[in-house]
Structure 1
Amino acid sequence: MVGHTPRIKEPQLHRGRLFWLEQRPAEQGRTTLMLRPAPTAGAIELTPGDWNLRSRVHDYGGGVVAVERGAARPGGGERVVVVNDGDRCLWRLETDRPGEAPMRLTEPGERDFADGLIDARRQRWIGVMEAGAVDQLVAVPLEGGGPLLLRRALDFCGYAALSPDGAQLAWVEWQQPHMPWDRSQLWLADVEPEGHLGPPRLVAGSGAAGQPEACSVFQPLWLASGDLVVANDRNGWWNLERLRTTGPGAWQPLLPMEAEFAMPQWVYGMRTTAWDGHQLVAAACVEGRWQLGRVLPGTAGSAGEAEQAPASWQPMDCPFDDLEGLWAEDGQLVAVAASGSTEAGLLSLDLVSGRWRHQVAAGLQATPAQQASGGRVAEALWFEGYGGRPTHAWYYPPQDGGSPAAPLLVKGHSGPTAMARTGLNPAIQFWTSRGWGVVDVNYGGSTGFGRAYRERLDGLWGVVDVVDCAAAARALVAAGRASPERIAIEGGSAGGFTVLAALCFSDTFRVGACRYAVADLSGLASSSHRFEARYLDGLVGPWPQERATYEARSPLRHAEQIRCPVIFFQGLQDRVVPPEQTERIVAALTAQRIPVELHRFTAEGHGFRNGAVQIEVLESTETFFRQHLAL
């Protein structure tokens, strides 16, 4: 399953026709655009066989497809604009002309595009162009031509949303040293008759009138009324709010809940709310699990007055608790969905009848976990973490339920601003089917539990995450579900840093595995790519003023304190964590005669896409762990 199951991304509905991206590990991670023209029809691949759809904006990308909305074209199809990774240009496809070659809209150059929408009235693509050291909102004619500058951000921008009448554009911006989940702003501007933007207005988020400096907004969404909905965490949780754009504008909380209606904006194309033309549907994260529900309107006041009572939350009877990429239209909803027994796939849901269909790829129904590998479902584990605070993890017992002699694998998620999710993960089932327990830790700093939980890691990366991962392992040992002599830890990227820091600064773990791991905080701070150039200011401290702290927490500076075997996996095209970091810590451990392995992958970057590579990582890690834990 790990090596062959495609990954579904960015589903969209247009006039009942379903579009989605399919990333195929069996084709070296190539991503293609798919169309299902009718609910009972088969899937059609729209992009040529050698095309790979991918954006390189901010290096993490996302938001690579935009479909023209509105009435059908004369031929019955749609115009679609995609980002082709081959030349990093925008290309236009015509879905009613499957044999016709795509048309290139922009010329190759030192710039990248992402996160677009199609302005049907003006026949143009509007989205983000990253050129040099700044993001720009630009418009590109659907007949091709040079980009028209609409807005030059101070640093970063995206998530543009055009009002139903095409008269207003909303978008999100954020500036260094803050990340978008720390402080971001919602901007609004009128679209002038000639297509330029009028004077922009700051309407919500960090620094907006009446709102705190430290707050973050996510996914502006227009309603048919012309009102705007956004998730804002000014009350400590990413909750939905509504702006009445006609009459005296005022933000009104829709759903004050201890729940998150947003995700950290690592990539473009994220969507947790959807408007089907009649109702608002959303995904909410409650204590680490996502649930799908309707946002029912509140009680209205007298004519012309704002609503006097907040809306209410009506959860849907849906068997999936891991959700993203919501899109709705005329009583139909699509999303990327998973559960403890079903891997992430494409969910199609009738909002009236409740009937649903789920598939992991074109023509492939999802495989139940019981058929895959024994199907161990996540159990919520709360334990005492850093500072004695309640901390969360997901525990997957081995097939025999766990015992005092069972090996345990501790997983630290990447980010570190991210979360451990509940959907069926074949890489976790790989371990549980082989007699391992797995604990996936939502250490302090994880999302899904409110801003205060997320801010536990501020200034303490390499401390809080290490303590929490070790505490999760000790809690399971104390419960008689794992052996203290058979505890391994693994992670990638920021999770790989947690692995190395845990091996340096704790004595809980006996072996480790790192994928494209951060080994030197000083090196990362001085050479990181643009998106994360100031990320460590919040996680560690201002650079270079806090150089001593960076050096004190960098595993590379303390490699002599690692006394157990470690296996490393590194892509040589990685621009986020340069391969040189991995090479240096491997050399340091080798000099100390610590058992170490390094696997290099010539064509991989930050995050492995090739199915064969993913399989090699799993099998090599298991072999290494078995050897050094004498299993």
Structure 2
Amino acid sequence: MKPSLGGPARPNLEQGPLAASLVEGCIPTIKEPKLRGGRLLWLEQRPQEQGRTTLMRREPAGSLARELTPGHWNLRSRVHGYGGGVYALANDTLVFVDDGDRCLWQLQLAGAAPSQPSRLTSPTDRAFADGLIDSRRQRWLGVMEAGGRDQLVAVPLAGGEPELLHLAADFCGYAALSPDGGQLAWVEWHQPWMPWQRSQLWLARITAAGALEDARPVAGSGAGSGAESPLASSIFQPLWISPTELVVASDATGWWNLQRLEIGTGSWQPLLPLEAEFAMPQWVYGMATTAWDGEQLIAAACTGGVWQLGRVDLAAGRVGTPEAWQPLGVPFDDLAALCAEAGQLVAVASSPTIPEGLLELELASGSWRHTPMAPCPLALEAISRPEPLWFAGHGGQQSHAWFYPPATGACASSPLLVKGHSGPTGMARRGLNLGIQFWTSRGWGVLDVNYGGSTGFGRAYRERLDSQWGVVDVADCAAAAQALVAAGKASDARIAIEGGSAGGFTALAALCFTDVFRAGASRYGVSDPSALASESHRFEARYLDGLIGPWPQARPTYEARSPLAHAGQIHCPVIFFQGLDDQVVPPAQTERMALALQTQGIPVEVHLFANEGHGFRSGAVRIEVLEATEAFFRRHFQL
């Protein structure tokens, strides 16, 4: 296949302001593409169906896509609150998690039409995710969250109760079965650490009866094995490249670099000594930045906030040198969810001018096809391109942001929207974001800040936020905006800040503790970190220990950082959006914050949404949020 951009016919291209309905209302999100036996499968989360996620299939390449789970099926996992790792496939057998009853279901793909799904597990309060098919033993292996701990379990494909294989001390996942079916590798971590802070690679043999034996940590924090530091290090995505060789990304060197473990000798070998990240924070299961097609290793690497796709040369003369990295010539620099098989690779890919879509790459010829979920509604010349901005942030340290100039050109009178990404351990990516283009098409500049604590810039950059959440992120967002004002590219009287979840906390804290911003928007944002520390779900129960301090010993610090406790220091309009089913940031937090501002006469709007949780899934809701935010800012900035 030749390089091509697939997808539906292009609509009439927008030349004026971009409509919110073209941004949020109908474009599905792609998740977890897989190549198995010549089949291409992927998940589509559809905002026009209240966020329902369904499974799609296409074979051979270029044929029409077919929906495998139409109707009421909603493929979603609730493990750790964020889920991921929703389905597994081997040969003709597919197993998935349905959100209706939280059970495992099986689907047979043989023949002209797939079978009707059959339930494998009984409905309980357990949650399943991140599985694989053990074909030799005819079972599903994966994570079951029950009783406040993660378990590796086996579920027979004939159906039945889960069999416990391994009880983690706290959290586990990302299991990988060796090609000969004789060994299992996985990742574990425990509170107070998050998986991107400290984790371990575990390995076990599988007995003839299917049990795990000699389960042990072989790398990562506390393992003290080979090239691995016994101190703080994080392991990402175990990947078998032979029955005796395992590749992982480890940040023991300060960067998530690729390393190879020889199982027989226990020796570790660095594959690529680069100042680049070959991993990302493990918020959800199903993430993949490396792929093995049976003969070659393909990876995505992030340098300076930009992703690149490349081949890792494993030849003896090149491995362990920078020359082992061989970039692949594709025009995409925002990449995720890699999967490869027999010379073919699939990934979720985008660029500053190409919408997110499925990238299919033929590795031998380099030819590729990219299929976006929807055509870009903007003419190429109307797209605002991200410009890297390095500025002196908190403590004078160099920090990074992406600046999107307004379509009319940046000048000293331009309104500016500053965005704080969620996480806060996340990153501002540069793939085409129609939500950002919505603003630039209306004459706004947009500043998407990779404040200290963001990923994509090495472990030291990530650790700037240790004990400093609400300080470093706030200072960096303010400094980035001031740098643009000083450069004559924005008006200091028309700077707004917005964010969701942790980004909402950064936005509210910036309104409290700086005088840079003139309006703010919070989507399900944290306003009371003390409440979050005492009420949060299991996955993040100790997250704030590292971001602020141990709870409750550091209560004075929590109160000092709390927007709710300092609501009297906010003197500008704020708009709030909150789902009533949110289990991460309960609605009471937002309601208390809004009431505190209203009591002191601050202009406030509050939008509450039934049947929405932490992150809005409904397209209609997302359209309302975008339109209401723009109208609120426009009214108060008199635009």
Following superposition, the deviation at residue 269 of structure 1 comes to: 0.3
**TM-score, normalised with respect to structure 1:** 0.96
Tell whether 2:630 aligns with 1:606. Answer: no
Equivalent residue for 1:185?
Answer: 200
- d(CA) in 2 for partners of 1:235, 1:100: 49
Q: Does the 8 Å contact 1:342/1:368 carry over to 2?
A: no
Tell whether 2:282 aligns with 1:265. Answer: yes
1:232-381 equivalent positions in 2, closer than 5 A = 232-246=250-264, 248-299=265-316, 312-361=324-373, 364=374, 366-367=375-376, 369-370=378-379, 374-381=382-389
Equivalent residue for 1:30?
Answer: 52
Q: Does the 8 Å contact 1:340/1:378 carry over to 2?
A: yes
Tell whether 2:165 aligns with 1:153. Answer: no
Tell whether 2:222 aligns with 1:207. Answer: yes
- d(CA) in 1 for partners of 2:320, 2:287: 31
- d(CA) in 1 for partners of 2:192, 2:224: 21
Equivalent residue for 1:529?
Answer: 537
Q: Does the 8 Å contact 1:239/1:257 carry over to 2?
A: yes
Summarize deviations over 1:379-427 as a string: whole Å, max 9, x none: 1110000000000000000012201000000000000000000001111
Following superposition, the deviation at residue 100 of structure 1 comes to: 3.2
Alignment CA distance shift 1:369-1:347 (3 Å): farther
Tell whether 2:211 aligns with 1:196. Answer: yes
Following superposition, the deviation at residue 299 of structure 1 comes to: 2.5
- d(CA) in 1 for partners of 2:149, 2:472: 33
Tell whether 2:115 aligns with 1:89. Answer: no
Equivalent residue for 1:574?
Answer: 582
Equivalent residue for 2:237?
Answer: 219
- d(CA) in 2 for partners of 1:384, 1:249: 44
Following superposition, the deviation at residue 209 of structure 1 comes to: 1.8
- d(CA) in 2 for partners of 1:406, 1:198: 64
Q: Does the 8 Å contact 1:417/1:454 carry over to 2?
A: yes
Q: Does the 8 Å contact 2:274/2:322 carry over to 1?
A: no
Following superposition, the deviation at residue 297 of structure 1 comes to: 1.6
2:246 to 224, 228, 248: 228
Equivalent residue for 1:491?
Answer: 499
Following superposition, the deviation at residue 62 of structure 1 comes to: 0.4
Equivalent residue for 1:74?
Answer: none
Summarize deviations over 1:559-603 as a string: whole Å, max 9, x none: 111100000000011000001100100111111110000001101
Tell whether 2:424 aligns with 1:416. Answer: yes
Summarize deviations over 1:426-451 as a string: whole Å, max 9, x none: 11000000000000000000000000
1:41-56 equivalent positions in 2, closer than 5 A = 41-56=63-78
- d(CA) in 1 for partners of 2:221, 2:55: 36
- d(CA) in 2 for partners of 1:410, 1:470: 9
- d(CA) in 1 for partners of 2:34, 2:82: 21
Equivalent residue for 1:538?
Answer: 546
Output the amino acid matched with 2:102.
R
Structure 1 gaps of 5+ residues are 70-77, 302-306
1:585-604 equivalent positions in 2, closer than 5 A = 585-604=593-612
Q: Does the 8 Å contact 1:299/1:309 carry over to 2?
A: no
1:49-198 equivalent positions in 2, closer than 5 A = 49-69=71-91, 78-96=92-110, 98=113, 100-198=115-213
- d(CA) in 2 for partners of 1:266, 1:192: 32
- d(CA) in 1 for partners of 2:297, 2:480: 38
Output the amino acid matched with 1:519.
S
Equivalent residue for 1:73?
Answer: none
Following superposition, the deviation at residue 536 of structure 1 comes to: 0.2
Summarize deviations over 1:217-272 as a string: whole Å, max 9, x none: 000000035300000000000000000113x2201111011000000000000000
**TM-score, normalised with respect to structure 2:** 0.94
Equivalent residue for 1:442?
Answer: 450
- d(CA) in 1 for partners of 2:292, 2:158: 30
Output the amino acid matched with 2:97.
V
Equivalent residue for 2:18?
Answer: none
Deviates more, 1:290-299 or 1:318-327: 290-299
Structure 2 gaps of 5+ residues are 1-21
Following superposition, the deviation at residue 193 of structure 1 comes to: 0.5
| Secondary structure at 2:623 match in 1 | helix
Q: Does the 8 Å contact 2:499/2:507 carry over to 1?
A: yes
| Secondary structure at 2:259 match in 1 | strand
Summarize deviations over 1:287-325 as a string: whole Å, max 9, x none: 000000000124359xxxxx7867710111110000000
Which structure has more relative contact order (CA 8 Å, sep 6+)? It is 2
- d(CA) in 2 for partners of 1:213, 1:170: 21
| Secondary structure at 2:481 match in 1 | helix
- d(CA) in 1 for partners of 2:123, 2:221: 36
Deviates more, 1:467-476 or 1:93-102: 93-102
Output the amino acid matched with 1:297.
L
- d(CA) in 2 for partners of 1:418, 1:123: 38
| Secondary structure at 1:556 match in 2 | coil
Q: Does the 8 Å contact 2:88/2:95 carry over to 1?
A: yes
- d(CA) in 2 for partners of 1:343, 1:519: 33
1:545-560 equivalent positions in 2, closer than 5 A = 545-560=553-568
- d(CA) in 2 for partners of 1:20, 1:429: 27
Count of residues paired in the alignment: 613
Q: Does the 8 Å contact 1:270/1:324 carry over to 2?
A: yes
Q: Does the 8 Å contact 1:525/1:536 carry over to 2?
A: yes
Equivalent residue for 2:17?
Answer: none
Q: Does the 8 Å contact 2:270/2:320 carry over to 1?
A: no
Output the amino acid matched with 1:331.
G
- d(CA) in 2 for partners of 1:411, 1:308: 38
- d(CA) in 2 for partners of 1:598, 1:258: 44
Output the amino acid matched with 1:54.
R
Tell whether 2:591 aligns with 1:583. Answer: yes
Following superposition, the deviation at residue 368 of structure 1 comes to: 6.5
| Secondary structure at 2:124 match in 1 | coil
Summarize deviations over 1:349-387 as a string: whole Å, max 9, x none: 1111111111123xx5x427426x921111111000000
- d(CA) in 2 for partners of 1:64, 1:398: 39
- d(CA) in 2 for partners of 1:149, 1:370: 55
Alignment CA distance shift 1:477-1:602 (3 Å): same
Output the amino acid matched with 1:283.
A
Output the amino acid matched with 1:183.
R
- Alignment root-mean-square deviation, CA: 1.3
| Secondary structure at 1:33 match in 2 | strand
Equivalent residue for 1:4?
Answer: 26
Q: Does the 8 Å contact 1:5/1:360 carry over to 2?
A: no
Q: Does the 8 Å contact 2:521/2:629 carry over to 1?
A: yes
Following superposition, the deviation at residue 99 of structure 1 comes to: 5.8
